[in-house]
Structure 1
Amino acid sequence: MRLEKKEIWFISIILMLIIALMMILINIWSSEQQNAAEDQSLPAAQSEEDSGMVLEPVEELTKQEESADASKSEAHLQSVNPHFPEDLPFPIEKTEGNLGDQFPLDKMSVKRISIMVSLDNGVRGYTVSPQSYRVLVQGLTSLNLSTTKTEMNSSALASDVYIRFHLDNEMYFIKYNLDSNTVELNGQHFYASRNLMSYLHLFCRPGTLLGMFGEMRGIDVNAEDAPAPQEDMTRVYDPERFKIQEKNFAEWSRYISSNSDYKEAYRYYSVSDDNMKTVRIHEEEGILSTPSTILFTKNNVSSPDGISIGMSEKEVLSMLGSPNLSQGNKWSYTINDDLKFNLYFTEENLRYITLTSE
């Protein structure tokens, strides 16, 4: 049977439409596969429920051409965001006194905060959740530049993170370095605070001890922001029950300070007493120490009752009893007026243990 010309033409059109549709579907599938591969290479975003320090979904950034003249001085180039050269550096005239006195960011209308991170596949921008603005803003404005100033060779620094503050009509930025825990102002470096350090490591290096410290501090921030419950002081426990591996807070502090396996990893600024302090870590053992906190992250240690990482809330309650203070995912047992034994839970399982001195 012979087909008419109109029928042949009609069939040809149908075939071309089918082929075009198949090509579109193939392109969509290929694009989705590529995006999935890119997402797998990104750091895992922290959830609001777990950390209290939240980064919202990824926003794509197009790296802009640098407009800075090559003849400009190195000191000037240090005050430029190379990805967005039009961003303004913090307007700091003197490198002493509180940063917030010169640039009161905490009293300004911050519309949005974003963080730019350099990854193997390029630069990505992440939007900070409004719940976390206070951590970043206060972490910067509370810095005493006189106390935190340090000498550092800028050319030797890597792992830079750019924090961008979107105000009403202007965009400001500050550069933070993950390896040294410093921010850069006017070409000079200043140590960052504990909260700023832990927040950025939580996101950029979540698998490290300092990233875990950031997750723990995030739970603390959630607890601090929630309505304060009444601490139940009718429950009195034997202090011996809150030792870890037969050591209390003071004994752990002495042991860590005298043990060369615990490396002095970072220095940070303590806002509460205007002093510089040190973080010591032992990655293999999963233990981090500051002058006020001993953090345990692995189940290779336990209390006399057998409390260890990974146990369920029900198991902890049955073995140890109710805490003196329960604030969401944080349970605190009072040892005395200054010392506490704290348990941090995620998904109803024990995630971290800390011994703290106030």
Structure 2
Amino acid sequence: MSQTIDVIFYDGVVSKPQHAQVSALSPLEVLIRYGEQLQHQRRYLYDDMVLIGALGQLHPVIELNDDARIEFQGPLPEWFNYGTKNVQHSVWKLERSPSLIIFSLVFVVAFGFALIKWGIPAASHYVAFKLPANTLNKIGDQVEEYVLDNMTKPSHLAQGQKDQIKAQYLSTIAEGRPAKLIFREGDHLGANAVALPNNTIIITDELIELAHSDQEILGVLAHEQGHLVERHSLQQGLSSLGMSVLYIAITGDSSDLLSSLPAAMVGANYSRKFEKQADLYALNLMDRKHIEVSHFANFLQRLNDEVTAEEKADKEKTEDSKQKSDQDKKSDQTGSQKEQTEQHVSLDVLDALSSHPATEERIQMVRDFEKQQQSRALQPKQQ
């Protein structure tokens, strides 16, 4: 068997490829002849070589210690005594296998899905309950500062009303774990309440004005107390951080990673699982304190109706603006039709992501809990 093979050679001095031949001198060394008449020669030890390439349609490539390079036109010859040659050939063969490519793609997609759905939430839950109190306070203080400076304004509620709500919260909801209550005008938050990792609950003027009774406000505070006990805001922020790390692993863009944590804790809606846990905490607490849970359901329904009305008004406003824009662009009917279709698709996507189904499920859960209460109350009389 011939121990000489034609290759493409780069001498490390000029970038021009040159015809060359590689032949075996010994089990440890090869000879390269190159140039127009193969008049130049170089000797290389196998120990001075690095094997790369052979990905896709590429052939094996040898990088040499003097910046020279050998490009083979096919598989490495049997006599070429590079140490991991057989292993590399097996890998290259697998890389060209359609079934392995499909399997790898399915595996990566499944692994990514499992990581997002179960892995990151599980890790976030574990870390959230392992963090010491001083760390929670530092994170919570950052989030609190972000909310106060960027999302809310000073409250306009009367001090007497604030004191009354605080007193009812401490006597009814706190149960030995009182949070710091902060009253703010909603601004960007609107009618809302936010539980922060530093054992703080921010409640907006708009939410208090929307409530029809003190019991409804206590129901909301009990719900937020549940978020504090389960450390949901911290878990939410850590999950967002985990998603950001995954994004960085894919794209390499690490800008504003940690600085986005406060916004992630406040801006992202809680998952249905978190909302259900906080609701159950609130319902059980209200049951123990003999507060009718229907107050909580009534408030959720009213809040849902208000959000629906606001979204409907925003949608009508958007459609009116679009119609006006279309009238100004009649000269380009094709473009207008395309934009109209894109807007319709966009609205459909927003509808699909709406929180209304989740809110309706929460209201139904409260109603079911109330029925169970009534059923338990009737059992002794029936006996």
Shorter chain as normaliser: what TM range? Answer: under 0.3
| TM norm structure 1 | 0.25
- Structure with larger Rg: 2
Q: Say which structure, 1 or 2, has more relative contact order (CA 8 Å, 6+ apart).
A: 1
| TM norm structure 2 | 0.24
